[in-house]
Chains A and B, each alone.
Chain A
């Protein structure tokens, strides 16, 4: 326990030497992430406009909403989220291990290679080459390249972790496991249903892939970063080491068993469906322990949620994470599935977890890190507030709206109304969703404008007039 607290201590963290963190690369990763975020938002907007029949662009296959819908999800998963992680990990891992990553040239090579992978994915999908795996529509010829990229990422980051002596800090448990899981998940989901397994068994694997991508790639890396950033920002250790252990090992055991819950009532045998349901409910109990641990940590420093923007992003995300998981424990049952499967309920759930939780955490990290990377405080604190409130209100409205829409759609379908009734009944919800989406987009525009102005200021002024402590 003592080793772990000393790492979070200001003095030892200030010992960060020059050359330990490749700060330029962190900036590049974040900028690439923001670029893909906007590509993804464009895709989402096109699909939202299409649903209410207001899409102004028709007649070109390269602007087909069907293809852009896949760009929407893939740009978020592999463009925005993966780039954010790589940037944040380049910041966090050298600081946690006090050792640089394996190789600087390799880091830059990975950056370039990953952008090639994501760009080719987007172009391939727009050319109509998508693969029939949800969240893995990456055209088949890119899959091996992406897998090599993931292996290089693991090697580059695992080197300092392996060389660290003694027990590892919580974040490093999550990172270590995530590097293994991400590689295995990507290989399983993209190759097995395509080349080795047909039909229903391939469906089971596709379910595992959808879920593992969230549960074994995004979730562990994101929680690992929370275990790193939250104690540093609050200047105190994580509340309970025991609960951290429960959280990590509970996730490691139960999360990989969840996948089939995406395909309930399919021809997949019932006993496998029940196994997935029980494991999913178990995950929600694990999640609760993690949430308790983080709220135990902030106990007594609650004021930080108002005054400290990154902390506010982080804890808002955590509250929404709890909402997502509580919702998940219910919707995963056969009872709920009868009604809400195939409906917008699920779309609302996916947006809540991807935007309301993980993106919020990334925005928190960016809000914290950009001033330190650019050696320049934010151009406008007000605009940072706008970014937060527009994003939050957008996602909350979208979530409630789509959840309700899902309930309506489920009842329209089950009551054997003509199909058009379910479309017409969804219309007001889809219009609301469009405007909620526009609020989210506006928030990100504000953020990018703020960042641009901050960057301009950082160019103009000498770096000496603002000194940030290396970690605080």
Chain B
């Protein structure tokens, strides 16, 4: 059996693979089968996000008019979907994670620990947890910084964070001008502002205490 073709094909090849699939994939599928998956239209009903989208239409009126027209929910949904496509296509998720772990002081730095319900939506298909943090986690990034900051940062990251190794995304802008985000630029900014917009704690600011101060009252 252990050296025969049928044993290797059926037990090793199919059987063990199936066993692993049932125990490691089907179990979570069954566990979460009652959590509804939100559509992008449902996501676009979020008031925090609508505020940011309208803010974009005020800050970049011409560009916004040109690519999205009115800042309504339908266009917001469109921007979110394109934003997710840009985020995936540019490989953002290979340097930025999208989940906060319950260890290593991460909930102090980033905010609430990630939970399953946050990922039950169409923009997390396939889920963009990521496996590497060259840059910070982004799952609570929305609302932390204004749209202008985001635009300029995409255009030239070291301008705002001098040591940043993030590439410049000049193709998110028309005429090589940071004040003219194009369709993709507006979409990726909307997408980033969406991240964490569903949380009570939005926007979440980093609680940062300089090391010197920490050491003055180490027990605090």
A409–B21 Cα distance when bound, in Å, is: 34
Within the complex, the shortest CB–CB distance from A176 to chain B, in Å, comes to 5
Instruction: Please provide the chain B residues from 1 to 25 with a CB less than 8 Å away from any CB of chain A in the complex.
Output: 2-5, 8-9, 11-14, 16-17, 19-21, 23-25
Contact A205/B17 with A69-B94, A198-B120, A199-B119 known, Cβ cut-off 8 Å:
no
Question: A342, B132: Cβ atoms under 8 Å?
Answer: yes
Chain A residues in 8 Å Cβ range of B21:
188, 208, 256
Within the complex, the shortest CB–CB distance from A324 to chain B, in Å, comes to 17
Size bin of chain A's contact surface: 35 or more
Question: A346, B104: Cβ atoms under 8 Å?
Answer: no
Interface centre among B8, B92, B162 (most CB of A within 10 A): B8
Question: A58, B168: Cβ atoms under 8 Å?
Answer: yes
Question: B19, A192: Cβ atoms under 8 Å?
Answer: no
- B199: interface (CB < 8 Å): no
| Sample of 11 more A-B contacts, CB < 8 Å, known A256-B21, A423-B134 | A50-B167, A53-B165, A65-B167, A66-B91, A66-B167, A132-B93, A192-B25, A205-B25, A252-B12, A256-B19, A420-B163
Question: A50, B208: Cβ atoms under 8 Å?
Answer: no
Chain B residues in 8 Å Cβ range of A428:
none
Chain A residues in 8 Å Cβ range of B109:
413, 416
- B116: interface (CB < 8 Å): yes
Cross-chain pair count, CB within 8 angstroms: 238
Question: B133, A342: Cβ atoms under 8 Å?
Answer: yes
Chain B residues in 8 Å Cβ range of A194:
125-126
What are 6 A-B contacts defined by CB distance under 8 Å?
A51-B165, A67-B89, A69-B91, A132-B127, A262-B131, A341-B101
Chain B residues in 8 Å Cβ range of A346:
131-132
Count of B interface residues, CB-CB < 8 Å:
81
Interface mask (A230-261 → B, CB under 8 Å = 1, otherwise 0) = 00000000000000010011001100110110
Chain B residues in 8 Å Cβ range of A272:
24, 27-28
Within the complex, the shortest CB–CB distance from A170 to chain B, in Å, comes to 9
Choice from A66, A133, A204, A341 contacting B25 with Cβ under 8 Å: A204
Report the nearest B residue to A190, measured CB to CB.
B126
Within the complex, the shortest CB–CB distance from B124 to chain A, in Å, comes to 6
Interface mask (A39-81 → B, CB under 8 Å = 1, otherwise 0) = 0000000000011110100111100111101100000000000
* Chain B residues close to A by CB (< 8 Å): 2-5, 8-9, 11-14, 16-17, 19-21, 23-25, 27-29, 31-32, 35, 37, 85-86, 88-95, 97, 99, 101-106, 108-109, 114-116, 118-122, 124-136, 158, 161-165, 167-171, 176, 208-209, 211
Report the nearest B residue to A64, measured CB to CB.
B167
Within the complex, the shortest CB–CB distance from A242 to chain B, in Å, comes to 11
Chain B residues in 8 Å Cβ range of A260:
24
**Chain A binding surface, main DSSP class:** helix
Chain A residues in 8 Å Cβ range of B125:
132, 193-194, 198-199, 202
Question: A203, B127: Cβ atoms under 8 Å?
Answer: yes
Within the complex, the shortest CB–CB distance from B207 to chain A, in Å, comes to 8
Chain A residues in 8 Å Cβ range of B211:
417
The 10 A-B residue pairs with the shortest CB-CB distance in the complex, in nearest-first order: A180-B13, A256-B20, A128-B89, A193-B126, A66-B91, A199-B119, A252-B12, A265-B101, A342-B133, A201-B28
Report the nearest B residue to A62, measured CB to CB.
B171
A419–B17 Cα distance when bound, in Å, is: 41
Within the complex, the shortest CB–CB distance from B71 to chain A, in Å, comes to 25
